[in-house]
Amino acid sequence: MKYVSIAPDGKEYRIPTEEDNAAERALLDQITEEQRKMGRKIVAVQGLGFVGCVMASVVADATDENGNPYYYVHGHQRASKRSYWKVPVINSGIPPVASSDPEVPEIFHRTVVEKKNLRATSEDYVYSLVDIVVVDIQLDATKPAFGQAELGYCDLTQFREGIRTLGQRIQPHCMVLVETTVPPGTCEKVVKPILEEEFTRRGIDINVNPPLIAHSYERVMPGSKYVASIRDFWRVFSGVNKKSIELCHEFLSNCLNVEEFPLTQLDHTNASELAKTMENSYRATNIALTLEWAKFAEEIGVDIFKVRDAIRMRKGTHDNLLRPSLGVGGYCLTKDPVLANWSMEALFDLENALHVAINSVNINDTMPLHTVDIIKREFETLNNVKIAVLGVSYLENVGDTRHSPSKTFVEALRKEFAIVKTHDPYVEAWPELEEAVVEDDITKVLPEADVVVFAVGHTQYLKLAPADVVKMCNTKPLIVDCSNFLSDETIAEYKALGCKVRGLGKGHIVD
């Protein structure tokens, strides 16, 4: 068996041996000692996923008025086959995520190669050396039945293990800042008891040295303003005690642009955790509402997007009306209402439920099936119908496929025995649907297509000329617009070329 971790580009990286780990520990001691002599505090970021890796670079990039970095940052990623590759990739100065934001590669090169104050490691020992740990462990919601989010729950096993590792390693003065989106009550009822238990086992008097725990959630958007969505954006925070709040305020003030985007302090971590899950539940509900009206608009010959534009003219009350699409994806809106709903009983022993929020998740999870229905109306059967799906990430101009609605869409088409090919310029691998081949060359998916689905609004797709699409297809395909990606003028061009066009919420299109 090969003990390697394979990166999305196919390159293999050997997983460290115990001998490697011993050498790594010695190196970590050396680096940390050197950095402390330079007057810098030491930070570890636990988890180098879509949030953690960029957060680590933002912290490392923060400087005082003289241009000196406040912190040295150790990014930590477990030495698993799935994820270890991130460590050597980051240490080469390359970000482990794909993004349309040009600042992502710039900030990694600046902090890793130029400033040399960001480095990744897989060695848990690093937590014994730091002053602050930023927790960015991925924490998901499990939904055991499709379209029944009310049955969803949160498996805290790996999160608990990560926190227990901190409890076994960190020094009493170290602040643990939970940035992961967690069920309300997690810092108080999960993190704090684990750290107290591990401190006590180590002989640390928790009355003299209570664990320092804070919570501050990110609002990251891994698109064209990926870095700015972490650094130049509003933050909410709180802590379990006064000292935790003070340390968190100091840390965030040093790292983030708080002059233009002031911090908001809430009374307790329960409030901060609830704020994140409620914030995303609001957005999820807003989107779910638009799908119902989009279906109505299709039936009565109305363009829902023009209606939406008219409504959004009412500034201050209605200008945040969101849009329907192929579906809702990503790491937040698909799970946060479920986390909050689960916590009511699991952590607070309450019998109530968040009915509106949970129903919005059900609507959004099943939303891709509506686009399947749009296609089915145009064919007697989808058996052997060749369908080109343009876009498999959950958002335009990013490579993040987590909970992408394209997965539900492709799986539903395959159940109808359609022949589905997928393309995405930002996605190298689709771990959630490993059997799918995601092409980066559009000429490999369009030829002979009976249907072309504009699933995601990547800039590359919006620039495609209808004549070029039809020429590459060598057919007159059905064109399906999943979220107003095609203007009326573009639609008219496709129709003039002999194509039929359909769109979600676009009831105004006539043959």
Task: Identify the band that residue 434 occupies on the pLDDT scale cut at 50, 70 and 90.
Answer: confident
Per-residue pLDDT tens over the stretch 247-294: 999 999 999 999 999 999 999 999 999 999 999 999 999 999 999 999
Question: Where are the chain's structural domains?
Answer: 4-277, 293-327+367-503
pLDDT at 367 over 60: yes
Per-residue pLDDT tens over the stretch 142-157: 999 999 999 999 999 9
pLDDT at 1 over 80: no
pLDDT given at position 457? 95
- Whats the size of the chain, residue-wise? 511
CA distance 110 to 125: 26
Task: Identify the band that residue 98 occupies on the pLDDT scale cut at 50, 70 and 90.
Answer: confident
pLDDT given at position 377? 95
CA distance 64 to 59: 12
| CATH superfamily membership of 293-327+367-503 | NAD(P)-binding Rossmann-like Domain (3.40.50.720)
Per-residue pLDDT tens over the stretch 222-233: 888 999 999 999
Per-residue pLDDT tens over the stretch 329-362: 887 889 999 999 999 999 999 998 999 999 999 9
- Span 9-19, mean pLDDT? 93
**Cα 135 to chain center, whole Å?**
15
Per-residue pLDDT tens over the stretch 482-503: 999 999 999 999 999 999 999 9
pLDDT given at position 435? 83
Q: 420 by DSSP, 3-state: which?
A: strand
- Span 112-122, mean pLDDT? 97
| CATH superfamily membership of 4-277 | NAD(P)-binding Rossmann-like Domain (3.40.50.720)
Task: Identify the band that residue 2 occupies on the pLDDT scale cut at 50, 70 and 90.
Answer: low
- Span 369-374, mean pLDDT? 97
Between strands 71-76 and 386-390, the pairing is unpaired
- Span 170-180, mean pLDDT? 97
Task: Identify the band that residue 309 occupies on the pLDDT scale cut at 50, 70 and 90.
Answer: very high
Q: Which candidate, 197, 387, 369, 184, places its Cα nearest to that of 291?
A: 369
Angular region, 12: left φ>0, alpha ψ -120 to 50, beta rest: beta
Rg of the chain in Å (alpha carbons)? 24
Task: Identify the band that residue 104 occupies on the pLDDT scale cut at 50, 70 and 90.
Answer: very high
Asked whether this chain's domains 4-277 and 293-327+367-503 adopt the same fold, the reply is: yes
**Cα 460 to chain center, whole Å?**
22
Kindly report the CA angle at 382 between 379 and 388, in degrees rounded to 5?
100
